[in-house]
Chain A
Amino acid sequence: MLGVPMKVDVVVMPKQSVLDPQGVAVRNALKDLGLDSVESVRVGKFLELEFKTLPDEAKLQEVCRDLLSNPVIEEYTIRIA
Chain B
Amino acid sequence: MKIAVVQFPGSNCDQDCLRALTDGLHLPAEYVWHKQTSLSGFDAVVLPGGFSYGDYLRCGAIARFSPIMRAVVRSAKEGMPVIGLCNGFQILCEAGLLPGALIRNQSLRFVCQSIWLRVETGDTPFTANLQGRRVLKMPIAHGEGSYFVDERSLETLESKNQVVFRYVDETGDVTAGSNPNGSIHNIAGICNEARNVLGMMPHPDRAWDRKLGSEDGKLIFGSLAETLEPVVSR
Contact partner of B182 (CB less than 8 A), chosen from A17, A19, A25, A68, is A19
Contact (Cβ within 8 A) B182 A70: no
Contacts A67-B57, A72-B149, A73-B148: A21 and B101 contacting too (C-beta < 8 A)?
no
Given contacts A17-B150, A19-B182, contact A70 B101 (CB under 8 A): yes
- List which A11-65 residues lie within 8 A (CB) of chain B: 17-19, 21-22, 25
Q: A70-B94, A72-B148, A72-B150 are in contact. Are A25 and B103 (CB under 8 A)?
A: no
Residue ID in chain B nearest A18 by CB atoms? B148
By a CB distance below 8 angstroms, the chain A residues around B57 are: 67-68
Checking B65, B105, B108, B148 against A67 with a beta-carbon cut-off of 8 angstroms, the contacting residue is: B65
B104 touches A70 (CB 8 A): no
Contact (Cβ within 8 A) B65 A18: no
Seen from chain B, the residues whose Cβ lies within 8 Å of a Cβ on chain A are 57-58, 61-62, 65, 93-94, 99-101, 103-108, 148-150, 182
Residue from the list B101, B104, B105 in contact with A72, Cβ < 8 A: B101
Chain B binding surface, main DSSP class? loop
- The answer to whether A21 touches B182, judged by C-beta atoms less than 8 angstroms apart, is yes
B28 to nearest A CB, angstroms? 35
Least CB distance from A68 to B in Å reads 7
* A17-B150, A18-B103 known; A70-B108 Cβ under 8 A: no
Q: Complex Cα distance A22/B62, Å? A: 22
Q: How near does chain A come to B23, taking the closest CB pair, in angstroms?
A: 36
Of the A-B pairs whose beta carbons lie under 8 Å apart in the complex, a sample of 11, sorted by A's number, is A19-B148, A21-B106, A21-B107, A22-B104, A25-B108, A67-B57, A67-B61, A72-B100, A72-B149, A72-B150, A73-B101
Residues of B within 8 A of A67 (CB): 57, 61-62, 65
CA distance A25 to B61 in the complex (A): 25
User: How many whole Å from B210's CB to the nearest CB in chain A?
Assistant: 36
Assess whether A22 is in contact with B101, with CB atoms less than 8 Å apart.
Answer: no
A19 and B106 form a contact (CB under 8 A): yes
Question: How far apart sit A25 and B169, CA to CA, in the bound complex (Å)?
Answer: 27
